[in-house]
Structure 1
Protein backbone atom coordinates (compact mmCIF):
# COMPACT_ATOMS: atom_id res chain seq x y z
CA UNK A 1 0.00 0.00 0.00
CA UNK A 2 2.96 2.34 0.37
CA UNK A 3 4.37 1.74 -3.10
CA UNK A 4 5.07 4.96 -5.04
CA UNK A 5 2.55 6.00 -7.67
CA UNK A 6 2.45 8.74 -10.31
CA UNK A 7 0.12 11.72 -10.39
CA UNK A 8 -1.75 10.12 -13.29
CA UNK A 9 -2.25 6.92 -11.32
CA UNK A 10 -3.63 8.95 -8.44
CA UNK A 11 -6.11 10.76 -10.69
CA UNK A 12 -7.11 7.52 -12.41
CA UNK A 13 -8.28 6.08 -9.09
CA UNK A 14 -11.98 6.01 -8.20
CA UNK A 15 -13.45 8.14 -5.45
CA UNK A 16 -11.00 11.06 -5.55
CA UNK A 17 -12.94 13.56 -7.70
CA UNK A 18 -12.51 16.30 -5.07
CA UNK A 19 -8.71 15.97 -5.07
CA UNK A 20 -5.97 17.49 -7.22
CA UNK A 21 -2.26 16.70 -7.39
CA UNK A 22 -0.02 19.75 -7.08
CA UNK A 23 3.63 20.08 -6.13
CA UNK A 24 4.22 18.35 -2.80
CA UNK A 25 1.24 16.01 -2.75
CA UNK A 26 -2.48 15.74 -3.41
CA UNK A 27 -4.90 18.27 -1.93
CA UNK A 28 -8.58 18.95 -1.43
CA UNK A 29 -10.29 22.08 -0.11
CA UNK A 30 -13.74 21.83 1.44
CA UNK A 31 -15.97 24.78 2.26
CA UNK A 32 -17.58 24.76 5.71
CA UNK A 33 -20.38 26.91 7.11
CA UNK A 34 -18.67 27.61 10.42
CA UNK A 35 -15.43 27.13 12.32
CA UNK A 36 -17.15 24.55 14.51
CA UNK A 37 -18.18 22.53 11.47
CA UNK A 38 -14.59 22.67 10.25
CA UNK A 39 -13.32 21.45 13.64
CA UNK A 40 -15.72 18.52 13.52
CA UNK A 41 -14.56 17.60 10.03
CA UNK A 42 -10.90 17.88 11.10
CA UNK A 43 -11.56 15.53 14.03
CA UNK A 44 -13.11 13.04 11.62
CA UNK A 45 -10.09 13.34 9.31
CA UNK A 46 -7.82 12.66 12.30
CA UNK A 47 -9.77 9.51 13.13
CA UNK A 48 -9.45 8.25 9.54
CA UNK A 49 -5.75 9.09 9.43
CA UNK A 50 -5.07 7.28 12.72
CA UNK A 51 -6.96 4.24 11.48
CA UNK A 52 -4.90 4.12 8.28
CA UNK A 53 -1.70 5.21 10.07
CA UNK A 54 -1.20 7.76 7.29
CA UNK A 55 -1.43 11.40 8.34
CA UNK A 56 -2.04 14.41 6.09
CA UNK A 57 -1.47 18.09 6.74
CA UNK A 58 -4.74 19.83 7.66
CA UNK A 59 -5.25 23.59 7.51
CA UNK A 60 -8.38 24.68 9.38
CA UNK A 61 -9.86 28.11 8.68
CA UNK A 62 -13.15 29.82 9.50
CA UNK A 63 -14.78 28.82 6.21
CA UNK A 64 -12.61 26.05 4.79
CA UNK A 65 -10.61 22.94 5.55
CA UNK A 66 -7.59 22.15 3.37
CA UNK A 67 -6.07 18.67 3.37
CA UNK A 68 -2.77 17.72 1.78
CA UNK A 69 -1.47 14.16 1.60
CA UNK A 70 2.04 15.19 2.58
CA UNK A 71 5.07 13.67 0.85
CA UNK A 72 7.52 14.80 3.54
CA UNK A 73 8.14 11.20 4.59
CA UNK A 74 7.49 9.04 1.51
CA UNK A 75 9.02 11.59 -0.93
CA UNK A 76 6.28 10.74 -3.45
CA UNK A 77 2.62 9.88 -3.75
CA UNK A 78 1.76 6.37 -2.65
CA UNK A 79 -1.23 4.04 -2.71
CA UNK A 80 -1.89 5.09 0.88
CA UNK A 81 -2.57 8.63 -0.35
CA UNK A 82 -5.30 7.23 -2.59
CA UNK A 83 -6.83 5.26 0.28
CA UNK A 84 -6.76 8.32 2.54
CA UNK A 85 -8.24 10.61 -0.11
CA UNK A 86 -11.05 8.15 -0.81
CA UNK A 87 -11.98 7.86 2.85
CA UNK A 88 -11.90 11.62 3.44
CA UNK A 89 -13.96 12.32 0.33
CA UNK A 90 -16.56 9.78 1.43
CA UNK A 91 -16.74 11.41 4.87
CA UNK A 92 -17.14 14.84 3.26
CA UNK A 93 -19.98 13.53 1.13
CA UNK A 94 -21.73 12.19 4.23
CA UNK A 95 -21.44 15.67 5.77
CA UNK A 96 -22.63 17.28 2.50
CA UNK A 97 -19.48 19.38 2.28
CA UNK A 98 -18.64 20.91 -1.10
CA UNK A 99 -15.11 20.74 -2.50
CA UNK A 100 -13.47 23.72 -4.20
CA UNK A 101 -10.68 22.48 -6.50
CA UNK A 102 -9.99 26.05 -7.68
CA UNK A 103 -8.61 26.81 -4.19
CA UNK A 104 -5.90 24.13 -4.45
CA UNK A 105 -2.37 25.37 -5.14
CA UNK A 106 1.18 25.45 -3.83
CA UNK A 107 3.75 28.21 -4.14
CA UNK A 108 7.49 27.80 -4.77
CA UNK A 109 10.15 30.51 -4.90
CA UNK A 110 12.81 29.64 -7.49
CA UNK A 111 16.24 31.27 -7.25
CA UNK A 112 18.73 31.08 -10.14
CA UNK A 113 22.31 30.75 -8.95
CA UNK A 114 25.70 29.96 -10.44
CA UNK A 115 27.01 28.86 -7.04
CA UNK A 116 24.20 27.10 -5.12
CA UNK A 117 26.51 25.96 -2.32
CA UNK A 118 27.50 29.57 -1.66
CA UNK A 119 23.99 31.00 -1.32
CA UNK A 120 21.90 28.11 -0.01
CA UNK A 121 23.20 28.24 3.60
CA UNK A 122 22.26 31.94 3.74
CA UNK A 123 18.66 31.34 2.65
CA UNK A 124 18.31 28.30 4.88
CA UNK A 125 19.38 30.32 7.91
CA UNK A 126 17.40 33.44 6.99
CA UNK A 127 14.15 31.54 6.45
CA UNK A 128 14.61 28.97 9.21
CA UNK A 129 13.95 26.24 6.64
CA UNK A 130 15.19 22.63 6.40
CA UNK A 131 16.41 20.56 3.44
CA UNK A 132 13.88 18.34 1.68
CA UNK A 133 15.52 17.36 -1.61
CA UNK A 134 18.71 18.38 -3.41
CA UNK A 135 18.66 22.18 -3.85
CA UNK A 136 15.25 22.46 -2.20
CA UNK A 137 14.23 23.84 1.19
CA UNK A 138 10.92 23.51 2.99
CA UNK A 139 9.30 25.24 5.93
CA UNK A 140 9.58 22.70 8.80
CA UNK A 141 6.03 23.67 9.78
CA UNK A 142 4.98 23.12 6.14
CA UNK A 143 3.18 26.46 5.98
CA UNK A 144 5.46 28.72 3.92
CA UNK A 145 6.34 28.33 0.24
CA UNK A 146 8.99 25.91 -0.96
CA UNK A 147 12.32 27.40 -2.02
CA UNK A 148 14.23 25.84 -4.91
CA UNK A 149 17.69 26.75 -6.19
CA UNK A 150 18.12 26.42 -9.94
CA UNK A 151 21.77 25.90 -10.80
CA UNK A 152 22.75 27.73 -13.99
CA UNK A 153 26.07 28.25 -15.80
CA UNK A 154 25.85 32.02 -16.19
CA UNK A 155 23.50 34.96 -15.73
CA UNK A 156 21.69 36.60 -18.62
CA UNK A 157 21.92 40.42 -18.35
CA UNK A 158 18.54 41.99 -17.64
CA UNK A 159 16.90 38.71 -16.67
CA UNK A 160 15.42 38.14 -13.21
CA UNK A 161 17.24 35.69 -10.99
CA UNK A 162 14.19 34.95 -8.86
CA UNK A 163 10.70 33.94 -9.90
CA UNK A 164 7.59 32.38 -8.37
CA UNK A 165 6.21 28.96 -9.33
CA UNK A 166 2.49 28.44 -8.75
CA UNK A 167 1.45 24.79 -8.94
CA UNK A 168 -2.28 24.50 -9.69
CA UNK A 169 -4.74 21.72 -10.59
CA UNK A 170 -4.04 20.39 -14.08
CA UNK A 171 -7.61 21.02 -15.23
CA UNK A 172 -7.60 24.65 -14.08
CA UNK A 173 -4.15 25.77 -15.27
CA UNK A 174 -5.19 27.30 -18.59
CA UNK A 175 -7.90 29.33 -16.86
CA UNK A 176 -5.30 30.64 -14.39
CA UNK A 177 -2.98 31.56 -17.28
CA UNK A 178 -5.82 33.33 -19.08
CA UNK A 179 -6.70 35.29 -15.93
CA UNK A 180 -3.09 36.43 -15.51
CA UNK A 181 -2.94 37.55 -19.14
CA UNK A 182 -6.22 39.43 -18.81
CA UNK A 183 -4.84 41.14 -15.70
CA UNK A 184 -2.01 42.70 -17.68
CA UNK A 185 0.53 39.91 -17.98
CA UNK A 186 2.33 38.70 -21.10
CA UNK A 187 3.21 35.18 -22.15
CA UNK A 188 6.96 34.74 -21.87
CA UNK A 189 6.87 31.16 -23.17
CA UNK A 190 4.76 28.02 -23.36
CA UNK A 191 7.35 25.61 -24.78
CA UNK A 192 7.00 23.32 -21.77
CA UNK A 193 3.22 23.53 -21.38
CA UNK A 194 1.30 21.84 -19.83
CA UNK A 195 4.19 21.32 -17.37
CA UNK A 196 4.39 25.10 -17.02
CA UNK A 197 3.62 28.41 -18.71
CA UNK A 198 6.00 31.35 -18.06
CA UNK A 199 4.30 34.73 -17.67
CA UNK A 200 5.75 38.18 -17.13
CA UNK A 201 4.24 41.27 -15.54
CA UNK A 202 4.48 44.88 -16.73
CA UNK A 203 7.83 45.37 -14.97
CA UNK A 204 9.50 42.13 -16.05
CA UNK A 205 8.81 39.89 -13.04
CA UNK A 206 8.19 36.23 -13.88
CA UNK A 207 5.74 33.63 -12.62
CA UNK A 208 5.40 30.05 -13.83
CA UNK A 209 1.95 28.45 -13.73
CA UNK A 210 2.74 24.76 -13.33
CA UNK A 211 0.99 21.37 -13.27
CA UNK A 212 2.05 17.74 -12.92
CA UNK A 213 1.37 17.05 -16.59
CA UNK A 214 3.91 16.96 -19.40
CA UNK A 215 6.90 15.99 -17.25
CA UNK A 216 7.76 12.66 -18.82
CA UNK A 217 6.96 10.50 -15.81
CA UNK A 218 3.42 11.58 -14.96
Structure 2
Protein backbone atom coordinates (compact mmCIF):
# COMPACT_ATOMS: atom_id res chain seq x y z
CA UNK A 1 0.00 0.00 0.00
CA UNK A 2 1.26 3.46 -0.87
CA UNK A 3 2.02 5.89 1.97
CA UNK A 4 -0.73 8.40 2.81
CA UNK A 5 0.04 12.09 2.38
CA UNK A 6 -1.71 15.28 3.43
CA UNK A 7 -3.37 17.66 0.96
CA UNK A 8 -0.48 20.07 1.53
CA UNK A 9 2.07 17.38 0.68
CA UNK A 10 0.10 16.55 -2.46
CA UNK A 11 0.04 20.21 -3.56
CA UNK A 12 3.76 20.65 -2.81
CA UNK A 13 4.71 17.70 -5.04
CA UNK A 14 6.19 18.54 -8.42
CA UNK A 15 4.11 18.09 -11.55
CA UNK A 16 0.64 18.36 -9.97
CA UNK A 17 -0.11 22.04 -10.60
CA UNK A 18 -3.23 21.03 -12.57
CA UNK A 19 -4.75 19.37 -9.49
CA UNK A 20 -6.68 20.43 -6.37
CA UNK A 21 -7.33 18.26 -3.33
CA UNK A 22 -10.98 18.53 -2.32
CA UNK A 23 -13.30 16.52 -0.08
CA UNK A 24 -13.95 14.23 -3.06
CA UNK A 25 -10.23 13.63 -3.69
CA UNK A 26 -7.50 15.06 -5.88
CA UNK A 27 -9.21 16.48 -8.97
CA UNK A 28 -8.31 18.17 -12.26
CA UNK A 29 -10.35 19.45 -15.20
CA UNK A 30 -9.04 19.40 -18.77
CA UNK A 31 -10.81 21.43 -21.47
CA UNK A 32 -11.64 19.77 -24.77
CA UNK A 33 -12.90 21.12 -28.06
CA UNK A 34 -14.97 18.01 -28.75
CA UNK A 35 -16.40 14.88 -27.23
CA UNK A 36 -13.91 12.86 -29.33
CA UNK A 37 -10.96 14.70 -27.75
CA UNK A 38 -12.36 13.90 -24.30
CA UNK A 39 -12.75 10.23 -25.22
CA UNK A 40 -9.08 10.20 -26.29
CA UNK A 41 -8.07 11.45 -22.82
CA UNK A 42 -10.33 8.93 -21.09
CA UNK A 43 -8.75 6.18 -23.21
CA UNK A 44 -5.25 7.35 -22.25
CA UNK A 45 -6.24 7.37 -18.56
CA UNK A 46 -7.60 3.84 -18.96
CA UNK A 47 -4.25 2.69 -20.32
CA UNK A 48 -2.44 4.39 -17.42
CA UNK A 49 -4.52 2.74 -14.72
CA UNK A 50 -4.83 -0.68 -16.34
CA UNK A 51 -7.00 -3.45 -14.99
CA UNK A 52 -5.61 -3.32 -11.46
CA UNK A 53 -6.25 0.38 -10.81
CA UNK A 54 -6.47 2.58 -8.92
CA UNK A 55 -9.37 3.80 -11.01
CA UNK A 56 -10.20 7.50 -11.00
CA UNK A 57 -13.69 8.94 -11.24
CA UNK A 58 -14.17 10.48 -14.67
CA UNK A 59 -16.79 12.95 -15.88
CA UNK A 60 -16.71 13.20 -19.66
CA UNK A 61 -18.49 16.11 -21.36
CA UNK A 62 -18.06 17.61 -24.83
CA UNK A 63 -16.39 20.63 -23.22
CA UNK A 64 -14.01 18.79 -20.90
CA UNK A 65 -13.00 15.88 -18.71
CA UNK A 66 -12.94 16.09 -14.93
CA UNK A 67 -10.75 13.52 -13.23
CA UNK A 68 -10.85 12.75 -9.50
CA UNK A 69 -8.58 10.38 -7.63
CA UNK A 70 -10.83 9.54 -4.67
CA UNK A 71 -9.34 9.16 -1.21
CA UNK A 72 -9.71 5.87 0.59
CA UNK A 73 -12.33 6.66 3.22
CA UNK A 74 -11.01 9.68 5.05
CA UNK A 75 -7.42 8.48 4.67
CA UNK A 76 -6.42 11.18 2.19
CA UNK A 77 -4.35 10.80 -0.93
CA UNK A 78 -1.31 8.62 -1.48
CA UNK A 79 2.07 8.93 -3.13
CA UNK A 80 0.68 6.68 -5.86
CA UNK A 81 -2.03 9.30 -6.49
CA UNK A 82 0.68 11.93 -7.00
CA UNK A 83 2.35 9.77 -9.63
CA UNK A 84 -0.93 9.00 -11.39
CA UNK A 85 -1.87 12.71 -11.37
CA UNK A 86 1.46 13.53 -13.04
CA UNK A 87 0.89 10.85 -15.68
CA UNK A 88 -2.66 12.04 -16.40
CA UNK A 89 -1.50 15.65 -16.75
CA UNK A 90 1.24 14.50 -19.09
CA UNK A 91 -1.26 12.55 -21.21
CA UNK A 92 -3.50 15.63 -21.42
CA UNK A 93 -0.56 17.78 -22.56
CA UNK A 94 0.34 15.22 -25.23
CA UNK A 95 -3.25 15.50 -26.50
CA UNK A 96 -3.01 19.31 -26.34
CA UNK A 97 -5.80 19.52 -23.75
CA UNK A 98 -5.20 22.39 -21.31
CA UNK A 99 -5.89 22.09 -17.60
CA UNK A 100 -8.55 24.42 -16.23
CA UNK A 101 -8.25 24.55 -12.41
CA UNK A 102 -11.32 26.83 -12.26
CA UNK A 103 -13.38 23.89 -13.58
CA UNK A 104 -12.74 21.90 -10.39
CA UNK A 105 -15.23 22.20 -7.57
CA UNK A 106 -17.03 20.13 -4.99
CA UNK A 107 -20.39 20.65 -3.37
CA UNK A 108 -21.16 19.55 0.15
CA UNK A 109 -24.42 20.17 1.98
CA UNK A 110 -24.29 20.70 5.74
CA UNK A 111 -27.30 20.03 7.92
CA UNK A 112 -27.17 21.49 11.42
CA UNK A 113 -29.05 18.72 13.23
CA UNK A 114 -29.91 18.81 16.90
CA UNK A 115 -29.92 15.00 17.11
CA UNK A 116 -28.01 13.62 14.13
CA UNK A 117 -28.97 10.00 14.87
CA UNK A 118 -32.66 10.86 14.41
CA UNK A 119 -32.42 12.69 11.07
CA UNK A 120 -29.55 10.94 9.29
CA UNK A 121 -31.45 7.68 8.61
CA UNK A 122 -34.20 9.65 6.84
CA UNK A 123 -31.74 11.40 4.51
CA UNK A 124 -29.81 8.17 3.93
CA UNK A 125 -33.05 6.43 2.85
CA UNK A 126 -34.40 9.31 0.75
CA UNK A 127 -31.16 9.80 -1.18
CA UNK A 128 -29.93 6.20 -1.29
CA UNK A 129 -26.63 7.38 0.16
CA UNK A 130 -24.15 5.46 2.29
CA UNK A 131 -23.19 6.50 5.80
CA UNK A 132 -19.48 7.11 6.34
CA UNK A 133 -18.50 7.68 9.94
CA UNK A 134 -20.86 9.42 12.35
CA UNK A 135 -21.44 12.59 10.33
CA UNK A 136 -21.35 12.00 6.59
CA UNK A 137 -23.58 10.57 3.88
CA UNK A 138 -22.01 9.95 0.48
CA UNK A 139 -23.48 9.11 -2.90
CA UNK A 140 -22.30 5.54 -3.61
CA UNK A 141 -21.94 6.55 -7.28
CA UNK A 142 -19.93 9.67 -6.29
CA UNK A 143 -22.07 11.94 -8.46
CA UNK A 144 -24.18 13.83 -5.94
CA UNK A 145 -23.06 16.20 -3.19
CA UNK A 146 -22.00 14.83 0.17
CA UNK A 147 -24.19 15.54 3.19
CA UNK A 148 -22.50 16.50 6.44
CA UNK A 149 -24.48 16.53 9.67
CA UNK A 150 -23.15 18.91 12.25
CA UNK A 151 -24.03 20.20 15.67
CA UNK A 152 -22.52 23.66 15.57
CA UNK A 153 -22.78 24.74 19.20
CA UNK A 154 -21.39 21.40 20.36
CA UNK A 155 -18.53 21.75 17.85
CA UNK A 156 -17.69 25.25 19.08
CA UNK A 157 -17.56 24.01 22.66
CA UNK A 158 -15.46 20.98 21.66
CA UNK A 159 -13.02 23.17 19.70
CA UNK A 160 -12.55 25.49 22.67
CA UNK A 161 -12.14 22.53 25.04
CA UNK A 162 -9.48 21.13 22.68
CA UNK A 163 -7.29 24.21 23.12
CA UNK A 164 -8.90 26.60 20.66
CA UNK A 165 -10.20 30.05 21.33
CA UNK A 166 -13.22 31.99 20.22
CA UNK A 167 -12.26 35.00 18.08
CA UNK A 168 -15.78 36.24 17.35
CA UNK A 169 -19.36 35.15 17.85
CA UNK A 170 -20.96 38.37 16.61
CA UNK A 171 -22.40 36.52 13.58
CA UNK A 172 -23.64 33.53 15.62
CA UNK A 173 -25.61 31.46 15.02
CA UNK A 174 -24.66 31.87 11.36
CA UNK A 175 -20.97 31.35 12.14
CA UNK A 176 -18.29 31.56 14.76
CA UNK A 177 -14.66 32.55 14.15
CA UNK A 178 -12.23 30.26 16.02
CA UNK A 179 -8.46 29.82 16.19
CA UNK A 180 -6.24 26.96 17.28
CA UNK A 181 -3.41 27.32 19.80
CA UNK A 182 -1.06 28.65 17.08
CA UNK A 183 -3.55 31.20 15.76
CA UNK A 184 -4.70 29.32 12.64
CA UNK A 185 -8.24 30.51 12.02
CA UNK A 186 -11.42 28.73 10.95
CA UNK A 187 -15.03 29.83 10.58
CA UNK A 188 -17.53 27.29 11.82
CA UNK A 189 -20.77 27.91 9.94
CA UNK A 190 -24.25 26.53 10.22
CA UNK A 191 -26.62 26.01 7.36
CA UNK A 192 -28.77 29.10 6.84
CA UNK A 193 -27.53 30.53 10.14
CA UNK A 194 -29.59 28.16 12.27
CA UNK A 195 -28.06 26.86 15.48
What are the residue-to-residue correspondences of 1:1-40 with 2, within 5 Å?
2-40=2-40
Report the CA distance between 1:197 and its aligned residue.
Answer: 8.6
The 3 A distance-change label for structure 1 pair 93 and 195 is farther
> Higher RCO, 1 or 2 (CA under 8 Å, sep at least 6)?
1
Report the Cα distance in structure 2 between the residues aligned to 1:194 and 1:5, rounded to whole angstroms: 22
Report the CA distance between 1:196 and its aligned residue.
Answer: 5.7
Unaligned runs of 5+ in 2: 155-173, 179-183
Task: State how many pairs are aligned.
Answer: 169
Q: Does 1:135 align with 2:135?
A: yes
Report the Cα distance in structure 1 between the residues aligned to 2:149 and 2:84, rounded to whole angstroms: 32
Length-normalised TM-score, structure 2? 0.77
Larger Rg: 2
What are the residue-to-residue correspondences of 1:142-181 with 2, within 5 Å?
142-152=142-152
SS at match of 1:99: coil
Report the Cα distance in structure 2 between the residues aligned to 1:125 and 1:68, rounded to whole angstroms: 26
Segments of 4+ moved more than 6 angstroms: none
Q: Cα RMSD over matched residues?
A: 2.6
SS at match of 1:15: coil
Length-normalised TM-score, structure 1? 0.70
Q: Tell me the alpha carbon deviations over residues 110-164 of structure 1, each in whole angstroms, 9 at most, x when there is no partner.
A: 001121111110000001101123210101110000001003568xxxxxxxxxx
Unaligned runs of 5+ in 1: 155-187, 207-218
Q: Tell me the alpha carbon deviations over residues 54-108 of structure 1, each in whole angstroms, 9 at most, x when there is no partner.
A: 1110000111000001114573111111011010011111111111101111000
Equivalent in the alignment of 1:191: 177
Report the Cα distance in structure 2 between the residues aligned to 1:79 and 1:139, rounded to whole angstroms: 26
SS at match of 1:137: strand
Report the Cα distance in structure 2 between the residues aligned to 1:3 and 1:97, rounded to whole angstroms: 30
Contact 1:31–1:100 (CA under 8 A) maintained in structure 2:
yes
Equivalent in the alignment of 1:67: 67
The 3 A distance-change label for structure 1 pair 89 and 195 is farther
Equivalent in the alignment of 2:82: 82
SS at match of 1:82: helix
Report the Cα distance in structure 2 between the residues aligned to 1:94 and 1:52, rounded to whole angstroms: 24
